[in-house]
Amino acid sequence: MQFFNTSLSCKFIVSSVVALSMVACSAQEQTNLAKNATAQAVNNITLWPEVKSPLRTDPQDNKFVADLIARMSVEEKVGQLIQAEIQAITPEQAKAYHIGSILNGGGSVPNRKDNASATDWATFADSFYLASIDKSGGRTGVPIIWGTDAVHGHGNLVGATLFPHNIGLGATRNTALIKAIGEATAKEVRASGIEWVFAPTLAVARNDRWGRTYESYSENPELVAEFTHAMVIGLQGEPNSPDFLDENHVAATAKHFLADGGTEAGDDQGDAKMTESELVTIHNAGYPKAITAGVQSIMASFSSFNGEKMHGNKYLLTDVLKSRMGFDGFVVGDWNGHGQVPDCSNDSCAKSVNAGIDLLMAPYDWLTLFENTLAQVKTGQISQARLDAAVADILLVKKRLGLFNGVKPTDRKLGANNALIGAKAHRELARQAVRESLVLLKNNQQILPLQPKQTILVTGSHADDIAKQAGGWSVTWQGTGLKNSQFPGATSIYKGIKQQAVKNGSQVILSADGHFEKKPDVAIVVFGETPYAEGQGDVNTLEFEAGNKKSLALLKKLKAQGIPVVSVFISGRPLWVNPEINASDAFVAAWLPGSEGLGVAELLMTNAQGKSNYDFSGKLAFSWPKLPTQDELNIGDENYDPLFAYGYGLTYQDHKKLAKLAEDVPGVASGKPQDINLYVGRPLQPWHVVIKSPDSEQLLSGAFAELTDGKVKVTTSDKDVQEDALTFSYQDTWFSSLYLSHGKALNLAPFVKQGAVTFDIRIDDIKKSALDLVIDCGASCRSKLSLKTWALAQQGKGWQHLSIPLRCFEQAGADFSQVNSPFSLEAGGKGQLAVANIQFKLHEEGNFSCPDIARAAVTPAKLNAYWAEDWWLPRHEEKVAAAKKGDIELLMLGDSITHNWENEQGKPVWQQHFADIKTLNLGFGGDRTENVLWRLKHGEVEGIAPKLAVVMIGTNNTGHRMENPTYIANGVNAIITELKQRLANTKILLLAIFPRGADANDELRLNNQRANVELEKVAKQQGILFSNINNHFLTATGELSRDIMPDYLHPNGQGYEIWAEQLTPYIKQYIK
C-alpha cells in the first residue's frame, strides 16, 4: 500500500522538536511528511485526562493469553482481527479462516428467519461457537465473539423490549433507571446467545440536523458522562465484582470515538473541525467514565477530526485512547470504516491496524480482507508486534467473558431463554422510562391530564404504529416498512390510551384522518418523524414537514371544529414546530418511546377518580429551536436564544400559558414543488420497497425479502455507507419487479418539462435478462423504457449514475399528476443489479437519450429479448426459406397467439379444421408491431401470393410498454401498408386484438379495447376486412375464463376452437 511504500522510499527522522531530515523524497512525499509533522506539532496530549482502568487483571489471564498467542499461527492471529456479518459467512468458513468475531447488522437475523426466537438465535450462535473452538488439525480453537447493536434494547430480536432512545433517556435525568435498562438489555441479549453489544453511544450531539441525534443522551457533555457510567455498569456489571461480565451481563462498546456528534453541519460520517481542546472537553466527556466503568471495547467513529479519518488516526486511537487514557480493552472499527481511510479499501487497510484498530468490521469483504491483512503481516507492513498486541487485547476480553470455558451459548445461564424476551419486568421498566422521558412543552387551560369519562378521538400518522414510535434500530436497521404484528407484546400509543380509558371510564375512537361521527370531547394527535438511522436521518432544515404540512392541516381541522387538541410529537431530535404548537392546546415531546405506548397513556390520563397517575418529570436534554435554522443550539453558546431552553419541562403543577409563537420566520420552506427523494439510503416515508412476480409480491421489511419460490430477491447492500443500496436478483422468471409504492398518487407533472428521475445503478449480470424502467399512472399512461441496451454496455463497470428526463416517459394523454408507481424496475430471465439514491429532480438535464416513444411501434426492429435470442432469428430464417418455396394460400401473421397454432395449444385444432390449407404461419412469440415490420422487410413474404392474410398483432405493445392505443394503431397501419405493397393480390383480414385479463376492468384489456377502436378505423381507411370476435371468448358479464385462456392471454385448445369457428367463414369465402 502507498502508505508503507512512502515510508520505505522516503526515509526520515523526526526529532523531539519535529525537525525533519529527508533523503531522496519526491515533492509530494515532502508535502505529505510536512503535513504529518505539523499535525504532530499541534497535538497536545497533556490536554487529555489520565485515566486508569479499575480492572485488576488476573496474572493468570495474562499468562493464558501470552501462552495462547505463542501457539497461534500467523493465520490464526490475523483471523482474530476480522469481523464478518452473519449473512456473509458460514460456521465452516469461520473455522477455516479462524475468524475472531461475527456481527449481525440492523435487520439481519439468523437464517433470515424474520420471527426467529431467542432459541433460534442461540442455536445459531452455537454453530459458530462450536466451529470456532474445534481444535482438530492443530488449531488452537479460539472462541468466536458475536456483537450486535442493542442501542435501545435488543432491537433486532422480534418481541424484545424496546426502551426509549437515548434522547428520551437523557430527559429522565435518572441514572438508576439507565443502569437498570442496561441490566435488562444485557439479559435479553444473553438469552439470544450473544455476549457483546455495540452500545452505549457516547456522542454529544451538537447539531440537530445529524441523523443520529436521538442516539445521544444530550448536548451537555456532563450529562452524557454521567449516563455513560451508569449504562456501562448496567450492561457489564460492577468491575472486579463477581457479576462483572458474568452470564447475566455482556461486554459493552463505547462509541463512536471520537466527535461523531460534532461534525460540520451535522453531516453523518463528516468532519469535526475544531480545536483539540474542544474535542477533549466536549466530545471526549463520556470516555473516561466508560473506561473507569471497565468498558471492554470502544468503537472508532466513521467521522474525521480536522480532515483525518478516525479509523486511521494513530494519535487519537493509540497515543490518547490506549496510552494516555489507559483503555485496556480492544478497539473495533465500524461497518467498513477502515475502507474510508485514504489509500485503503473495504478489503485492505494496514493503516487502520497500525493506527490502533484491533478488530476490523468487514461485513461482506471479510475474506479478501483476511487475505490482504495476512499478506501485509508477512511483508512487514503490519509488524508482528502490532499484530500480537491487537490479538492480545481481543483474547483478554474473551477470557474475561468466560468464552474459553467451552460452554456453548444454549448451555449458558440465560441461553435460549425465550421467557426473558419482552419479560414483564422489562416492559414495566420500559414504561417507567417512557413516563419519565416525556417532556411537556405546553399545557394551556390545564387540558392535561385528561379527565375520566370523556370521548377521546385518537388520530395522527403515528397513533397506531409501533414502528414509528420506536424509531430506527427497531427490528430493522432503519425501522421502516414494519407492521405492528412484528412487535409482539408491544403496545402502540393508541392501544395504550384504549387500555387506560378502560380504567377511567372514557371512550376511545381511532381515526386515521381525524374523521368522526360523534364529536369527541378531546383529540389526541400522535404525529412526527418517520423512522431513520444514521446518515439516512440527516436533514437540511429543522422545520418539521417542510413544504408539506400534512400534520398541521389535521391539527387545524380539529381546532376549526372546536375540539381541544393534545399533540404527542414523536421525533428523534428537537424540531421547529411553532405552527403545530400553536394549533395545539397541549404539546408533548415524546421522542422515540419504544415498544411501550402504554407509558404515554399513563402520563396523559387520570384514573377513574380524576387524579393523575403520574406527573411529568422530563426535562429537555436538548435545547428546542426558535427558528428552523437553529441547528447548532447548545447550552453555554454565545447568543444562546432557544424557544425552550435546556432543562425546560412543565409539570401538572405549572400553570403557565404559552403565548402564540411566531410562524413567519426566516428559513421556512416556501411550499413550492421540490425534488422528491424516494430511496436515499433507505426508503423515505411513505415509500416502501416491494418485489413482485406474476404470482406473488413481498414488501421489503428489513435487510432482505424473497418471494416464496426463491426466484426473486432483494437485499440491502453497501454503496457509499452501510446498507444504502438495494441488490435485486432474479432467475428463471419471465417477469419480476422491484418497485417503490405507498398507495397514493404522486404528482410528477411539475417534473415533465425539465425534470428527471435519477438513480445510481450497478449492473452485475444482465446478459440473459430484460430490464425496463416503468412509471405507472394507470392504463392511460403506463410508460415503459427499455434499459437493456444501456445496461449491457455497463455490465461489470461498477456504479453508474443515470439521469433520465421524465419526458422520455411522456405519452399523449398521460396524466403525470396521478402517478401510483413512480419507479419500477421490471426484469425477466436471470440477472442481478443494485440500485441506490432514487430521486426525482425538478431541474436536471439528464444523461440518457430519450427514445421516440411515438415512433417505436412503426420503427422496424428485431425482437431484443433475452428469452428469444436462441430461436427468434433462426425461426425468421426458417420462414424466409419457406416463403421462397411459394405455393401459399393462407398467411397468418402475429405474435405468440398466432405462433401457438403450431404448438400443443392450437395444433390439434388446426389439423382438424385447416390441415388441407397451404399455410405460412408468421406468428412469433413476444412480437410487437415493429418486430413484425422488420420481418416483413427482411424476406418473410417474398415469393408468396396467398389468397388471404390474417393479421392479429398489438397485445404485446400493450403488455410490454402499455403503449398509447394510437401508437399501436399506427404500427398496425404500417404493417398493412407493407403487406399491400408486397402482396398486392392478397385479401387482408385484420382481427381486433384479443381480450386479456380476468375482467372488463383489467387495465391491459382496456388499453387493447381502445386500440381496437383505432384498428377498425385503420381497416376502413386501408380498404381491408376487419373482424372483432372478442365477445366469443367472454362471458355475458365480460369475464374471461381460465377454461379458455388459462393465463388470461393465451388461448388453450378450447380457445383455439373458438377462433377456428370464427375464421372458417373467411377461409371458405377466400380460399376454398
Q: Which amino acid is at 538?
A: D
Of the residues 534, 543, 723, 895, only one is catalytic, namely 534
Q: Whole-angstrom distance between the N-terminal and C-terminal Cα of the chain?
A: 83
878 and 923 in contact (C-beta within 8 Å)? no
Angle between helices 175-191 and 118-132 (to 10 degrees): 70
Beta strands at 308-309 and 297-300: parallel, antiparallel or unpaired: unpaired
What is the CA angle 280-283-286, rounded to 5?
A: 95
Q: Which amino acid is at 855?
A: R
**Rounded Cα distance, 161 and 934, in Å:** 64
**Rounded Cα distance, 197 and 150, in Å:** 6
**Rounded Cα distance, 733 and 687, in Å:** 26
631 and 266 in contact (C-beta within 8 Å)? yes
Question: What 3 state SS string does 715-749 have?
Answer: EEECCCCCCCEEEEEEEEEEEEEEEEECCCCECCH
**Rounded Cα distance, 153 and 180, in Å:** 12
569 and 528 in contact (C-beta within 8 Å)? yes
**Rounded Cα distance, 198 and 295, in Å:** 11
Contacts with 7 (C-beta within 8 Å, 6 or more apart), sequence order: none
- For cell 396523559, what's the residue? 604
**Rounded Cα distance, 967 and 509, in Å:** 52
359 and 333 in contact (C-beta within 8 Å)? yes
> What are the beta bridge partners of residue 736?
827
| DSSP letters spanning 740-793 | EE-SS-B--GGGTTT-EEEEEEEEEE-TTEEEEEEEE-STT--EEEE-HHHHHH
- For cell 453497501, what's the residue? 718
679: part of which helix (H) or strand (E)? strand 676-679
Question: What 3 state SS string does 979-990 have?
Answer: HHHHCCCCEEEE
Contacts with 181 (C-beta within 8 Å, 6 or more apart), sequence order: 153, 163, 169, 231, 234, 429, 430, 433
Residue 334 annotated to the active site: yes
Q: Which three three-digit cell numbers place residue 373?
A: 491483512
Q: Is 977 helix (H, G, I), strand (E, B) or coil?
A: helix
Beta strands at 253-257 and 297-300: parallel, antiparallel or unpaired: parallel
Contacts with 983 (C-beta within 8 Å, 6 or more apart), sequence order: 891, 941, 944, 945, 946, 949
**Rounded Cα distance, 372 and 629, in Å:** 46
Residue 845 annotated to the active site: no
72: part of which helix (H) or strand (E)? none
**Rounded Cα distance, 718 and 715, in Å:** 10
Of the residues 334, 529, 760, 1014, only one is catalytic, namely 334
Give the single-character DSSP code of 798. Answer: -
Q: Which residues of 596-609 are buried (b: 16+ CB within 10 A; e: fewer)?
A: bbbbbbbbbbbeee
Please list the helix, strand and coil fractions of the chain in percent, rounded to the nearest 5, in that order: 35, 20, 45
**Rounded Cα distance, 295 and 147, in Å:** 14
| Residues tagged active-site | 334, 534
